[in-house]
Amino acid sequence: MIHFANMFRQLDRTTKTNAKVAALADYFRTVPDQDKLWTMALLSHRRPKRTVNSKLLRAWAAEMAGIDPWILEESYHVVGDLAETIALVLPEPEASSEKSLTEWITVVEQLAAYDEDGKRTAVTDAWRVLGTTERYLFNKLITGSFRVGVSQKLMTRALSQATEIDELNLAHRLMGNWTPHTITYDQLINSASATDDSSRPYPFYLAYQLEGEPADLGMPDEWQAEHKWDGIRGQLIVRNGELFVWSRGEELVTDKYPEYAPLAELLPDGTVIDGEILPFAKGKPLSFNILQTRIGRKTVSKKLLKDAPVVLMAYDLLEYEGEDIRSRPMSERRELLEKLLAENDTQGIIQLSPIVRWNNWEELAAERQNAREKHSEGLMLKRRNSEYKQGRKKGDWWKWKVDPLTIDAVMMYAQRGHGRRANLFTDFTFGVWDGDKLVPFTKAYSGLTDKEFNRITAWVRKNTIESFGPVRSVKPFHVFEIGFEGIRESTRHKSGVALRFPRMLRWREDKPVEEANTKVDLLAMLEEYGG
């Protein structure tokens, strides 16, 4: 654990990418293979499950520190992270430990089988021999909330430096349904082929939001345009007579979409399609709201299959006849995709994402404006000669989304942030007028500059009406423009609506609170865009 903690401290103390890569690469060169494997798992979100609830951890920590529980709670509100708070309030360690990262993770996983007394003994014994950083990391592992500010792309780059294996090859190897319990480091990194596991997907290629004017991209004939469908990005794989469906978050979701099952026989082996899991009926896409009824469900009933049918809206082909074709131009991959779907009847389960026909950027801009009517988020622009890369890259793929829906709302509640923003109010609840009363309808926490967060924090402290732990109610004074991607009816919210991806677009200091929007305005937007 000492080596892992030292590496973590190095990562935490710098914002420079090259320094983070160097620290990780050095770590991968020095620690045992099993620790390398667990580190890769943790940094790619394959962390152990929660084994102890936070209420018990709070009680044990307060007792061990010799403080009243309320002091720990107040400290938590200031620090903003429970694992860090506990690590800071505990007394100095009584001894030290030479256990490796792997050994400590074994301790964490074994906690699941203990009763409350056994858990308490194991956790407090660990706290007595771990330093502050080690305690913090141990606490994160216990609570199942371990996260480090390192992207999988950065980790892959560091691993490539340490192993001298091609980064693209490594990225592919790290995809899929592996855990340190099911594979060894050597099997994962040094296997003869990255496709030894027939279920393994390819790393997704992601686009940036378009910067500047589309005309700056050059001639229209260099680009392919299609709609940015509002579903769940997915990768469909048929290998060895088996079907696998992966979400962009590297979750195997095959069982959640039984509609795709026939494709194991309808598509030839060695086929990998990139597309969108999309609600679809009567020849056209449906609102994302319909798909949401299936998200998070462990079982899919016949009624749900009927009410929320899905297809795969296919827009790219990554593997054809068992060959990785990602390096071929976009135009060629598109031709092969069309050929594949023309030669194999998928019974409507796969739909080919239509290419937008356009002659100039003005025509394409008009198509973008109509995107919401087609339940699309806007347009995707892909350079016709582009390879299928990995991760988020600039230059060849751009998303040109429609402008967000907006509404002017009144700030009603403010909540302190977490971590480095624990001393600032960063999370806000907003309301609209219903007669002479404000009705809360959404929360938002992004969109302001650091300077604006400092200003609004100072105002909140001076204008608090009531406090509820980290939350404060404030007098209605400030108006903010709230942007969001969609709106749907919701019985769980007082306002009767729920917003998709709400965020603060700007602070409307020019607008008096009386001129904020109303519940009637909100319901009118629901009627028009709720689909």
> Hey, where are the domains in the chain?
2-143, 205-401, 405-529
How many Å apart are CA 429 and CA 412, to the nearest integer? 6
Looking at the structure, give the CATH architecture of the domain made up of residues 405-529: Beta Barrel (2.40)
**205-401: which CATH topology?**
D-amino Acid Aminotransferase; Chain A, domain 1 (3.30.470)
Provide the whole-model pTM: 0.75
Q: Are 368 and 400 in contact (CB under 8 A)?
A: yes
Structure tokens at 71: 């002091």
User: Which pLDDT belongs to residue 417?
Assistant: 76
Which residues lie across from 398 on neighbouring strands? 208, 381
Phi, psi (degrees; rounded to nearest 5) at 483: -105, 150
Per 3-state DSSP, the chain is made up of helix, strand and coil in percentages (nearest 5) of 40, 25, 35
How many Å apart are CA 454 and CA 425, to the nearest integer? 8
How many Å apart are CA 208 and CA 45, to the nearest integer? 23
Give the amino acid at 210: L
User: Which pLDDT belongs to residue 422?
Assistant: 67
339 alpha carbon, distance to own chain's centre: 34
Q: Which residue do the tokens 């009816």 mark?
A: 489
Q: Which residue do the tokens 């049918």 mark?
A: 309
Closest CA to 202 of 318, 315, 371: 318
How many Å apart are CA 95 and CA 181, to the nearest integer? 30
Catalytic residues: 228
Closest CA to 200 of 295, 43, 324: 324
User: Which pLDDT belongs to residue 147?
Assistant: 73
Structure tokens at 186: 């050597």
How many Å apart are CA 123 and CA 277, to the nearest integer? 43
Rounded to 10 degrees, what is the CA torsion of 264, 266, 269, 274?
Answer: -80
Looking at the structure, give the CATH architecture of the domain made up of residues 2-143: Orthogonal Bundle (1.10)
Phi, psi (degrees; rounded to nearest 5) at 93: -65, 150
394 alpha carbon, distance to own chain's centre: 19
What does DSSP assign to residue 312? E
User: Which pLDDT belongs to residue 195?
Assistant: 52
Q: Would you tell me how many other CB atoms lie within 10 Å of the CB of residue 394?
A: 9
Closest CA to 243 of 210, 221, 266, 225: 266
Q: Are 318 and 172 in contact (CB under 8 A)?
A: no
Which positions of the chain have pLDDT values less than 70? 149, 192-196, 418-422, 531
Q: Which long-range contacts (CB under 8 A, 24 or more apart) does 436-441 make?
A: 438/410, 438/412, 438/476, 439/494, 439/495, 439/519, 440/412, 440/413, 440/494, 440/495, 441/409, 441/493, 441/494, 441/495, 441/497, 441/499, 441/519, 441/522
User: Which pLDDT belongs to residue 209?
Assistant: 92
Q: Residues 6 or more apart from 115 whose CB is under 8 A from it?
A: none
